[in-house]
Amino acid sequence: METFPITKEGYQSLKRELERLKKEERPRIIAEIERARAFGDLSENAEYEAAKERQAFIEAKIKELEEKLARAVVVEQVPEEGRVSFGCKVKLKDLDNDRVLEYQLVGGDEADPPQGKISIHSPVAKALVGKEEGQEVEVEVPAGKRRYLILEVRAC
């Protein structure tokens, strides 16, 4: 079974979503199916078919989350002061346009670039890991080469 790294926060988020699906969504959809059955002939019952489709979707999502949680390895390392590692937050200056960016390096399933969470497997994260505050880093991204200055590294 292939494992994947995840932050403690990401693991807790997956657990909360799984619990919500099991304790709220699953019972609600079962009740919807029972209500739809009360309408009679199931062969022409659109409400019943829609509820069964939602049930299949929820059950698939529950299975997916259970499998992810079983394969997840929570990484709780204390990063070396000022050195980029998994889970830390990094403030960068884009040397090509002077924009300041902030990212947290997380597992692939937690990645959410608009929220500043990038996968540890992304080109930017790979280039940053092991580097220190004050270092310049050049990264090959789909848009071309980018140059960053590491302004700050914080543990999460």
DSSP of 3-42: -EEE-HHHHHHHHHHHHHIIIIIHHHHHHHHHHHHTTS-G
70, 98: one domain = no
93, 38: one domain = no
Task: Look up residue 47 and give its two tokens.
Answer: 């409400």
* 18 assigned to some structural domain: yes
Q: What is the CATH number of the domain that holds 70?
A: 1.10.287.180
**Of 74, 98, 115, which closes a domain?**
74
122, 147: one domain = yes
Question: Residue 132 belongs to what domain range?
Answer: 89-154
Number of domains in the chain: 2
Res 41 pLDDT > 70: no
CA pair distance 90, 88, nearest whole angstrom: 6
For residue range 65-120, list pLDDT tens digits in order.
999 999 999 987 666 778 999 999 999 999 999 999 999 999 988 999 999 999 99
Question: Quick one: which of 17, 1, 14, 6 has its CA closest to 108?
Answer: 6
Confidence of residue 49 (pLDDT cuts 50, 70, 90): confident
Whether pTM exceeds 0.85: no
* 80 assigned to some structural domain: no
Confidence of residue 124 (pLDDT cuts 50, 70, 90): very high
70, 8: one domain = yes
Q: Are 137 and 131 in contact (CB under 8 A)?
A: yes
* 49 assigned to some structural domain: yes
Q: 25 Cβ partners below 8 Å, 6+ apart?
A: 58
14, 61: one domain = yes
Q: Are 16 and 69 in contact (CB under 8 A)?
A: no
Question: In this prediction, what percent of the chain has a pLDDT beyond 90?
Answer: 68
Q: Please report, to the nearest 10 degrees, the dihedral formed by the alpha carbons of residues 13, 15, 18, 23 taken in order.
A: -110
* 10 assigned to some structural domain: yes
